[in-house]
Amino acid sequence: MASIFSRIVSGEIPAAKLYEDDLTLAFLDINPASRGHVLVICKEELPALLDLPPELVAAVAQTVQRVARAINAALQPDGFNVIQNNGAAAGQTVFHYHVHIIPRWNGDQALIPWKAGQISASEQAELVALVQAQLG
Ligand code: AMP
């Protein structure tokens, strides 16, 4: 069964489309966190970041920048967040790769910020060693 976003790509269900090219599509989020909340997807149905070949990651990133620039000019927010959720634990609900662009205005409550933690030098060293071992 095609994802809800594949059904938007095919035109089976409607969306408020903003921009489209061969590889990517941008449209308004149906339940926006703020005015101008946009989703940028890759047209190919791939679940999450680690499933994309590098050229598709780049294509989506370029569309994100292009659309963010247009949102900035059109709506003149004070800032914007670019967010991308991977896995249910991270809040992903549609398993078809997408990036959120969320315009922000001073004092809005659009997103809950994370609580800043602390890390010791030994924990840093352990994490660097663990991840670097996988980077090759
Ligand atoms: P995520 O939690 O990162 O998977 O985000 C999925 C997003 O898709 C949510 O912000 C939804 O509001 C949005 N969404 C789901 N269905 C549609 C739809 N048919 N058109 C536009 N946005 C949608």
Identify the domain containing residue 34 by its residue range. Answer: 4-135
Q: What is the CATH number of the domain that holds 96?
A: 3.30.428.10
What is the whole-number distance in angstroms between the Cα of residue 31 and the centre of ligand 1? 7
The pLDDT tens digits for 22-36 are 999 999 999 999 999
- Is the pTM above the cut of 0.95? yes
Return the biggest CA–CA distance within the chain: 53
Instruction: Check residue 1 and give its pLDDT.
Output: 86
Please answer whether residues 1 and 92 qualify as being in contact, where contact means their C-beta atoms are separated by less than 8 angstroms: no
pLDDT over threshold 90, residue 136: no
Task: Name the CA radius of gyration of the chain, rounded.
Answer: 17
Tokens 């047209």 correspond to 43
pLDDT over threshold 90, residue 40: yes
Question: Whose CA is closest to atom 15 on ligand 1?
Answer: 30
Amino acid making up residue 11: G
The verdict on the CB of residue 6 being under 6 Å from ligand 1 is: no
The verdict on the CB of residue 90 being under 6 Å from ligand 1 is: no
The verdict on the CB of residue 85 being under 6 Å from ligand 1 is: yes
The pLDDT tens digits for 49-67 are 999 999 999 999 999 999 9
Q: Considering its fold, how many domains does the chain have in total?
A: 1
- Is 98 an active-site residue? yes
Question: Whose CA is closest to atom 3 on ligand 1?
Answer: 92
The pLDDT tens digits for 82-118 are 999 999 999 999 999 999 999 999 999 999 889 999 9
**Coil, strand or helix at 87:** coil
